[in-house]
Structure 1
């Protein structure tokens, strides 16, 4: 149970977590794109950069919706998201693997 001083903090923490994830994915995409453009090559390594941008936008949009839902009373039922969080989580994991491969190649 949360104390009255915690009211609204869950939504704020949720929003910050989604923002950090979105910023991390966007930064990853920017670094991959800069690396390829710096070498004057447009190769398949730009695919992870494009994927990172898509993930960053999707994370930002979903995070904003989720934060807004948590700020409204009563809380949504069910509270835990069913598909979006695992989908975005796996997307970030795939992005990490693809980024590693792009850096090695």
Structure 2
């Protein structure tokens, strides 16, 4: 149950969560890039870096869309987690696994 002082803050919290996720994925991309480029070789290990950049951009764009949708009153359509949210979530999980493999190898 939201109190009157919380009214309208859902969109802000949602936007901050999407921003944090996007920033975390972008930081992952930067760390992987620095690690691989310090070897002065272009290898398949840069694949997770590219994937992280794509996921970071997609997360930022989709997060901004969802935040804007939540700011509308009344909501134009249901904003429950749908395909893109699940796809981005599983993409982040796959990126975590690929990043772990890239660091080990």
> Shared fold (TM-score greater than 0.5)?
yes
Superposition RMSD on alpha carbons, in Å? Answer: 0.9
Look up the match of 1:86: 86
Q: Matched residue of 2:44: which SS? A: coil
**1:70, 1:76 within 8 Å by CA — same for their partners in 2?**
no
The alignment covers a number of residue pairs equal to: 105
Look up the match of 1:62: 62
Look up the match of 1:19: 19
* Displacement over 2 Å in runs of 4+: none
Q: TM-score, normalization: structure 1?
A: 0.96
Q: Matched residue of 2:81: which SS? A: coil
Q: In the TM superposition, what are the counterparts of 1:24-103 in structure 2 within 5 Å?
A: 24-103=24-103
What is the CA distance between 1:47 and its match in structure 2?
0.4
Paired with 2:76 and 2:30, the residues of 1 have a C-alpha distance of 35
> Please, which runs of 5 or more residues in structure 1 have no aligned partner?
none
Q: TM-score, normalization: structure 2?
A: 0.96
What is the CA distance between 1:27 and its match in structure 2?
0.3
> Please, which runs of 5 or more residues in structure 2 have no aligned partner?
none
Paired with 1:76 and 1:20, the residues of 2 have a C-alpha distance of 26
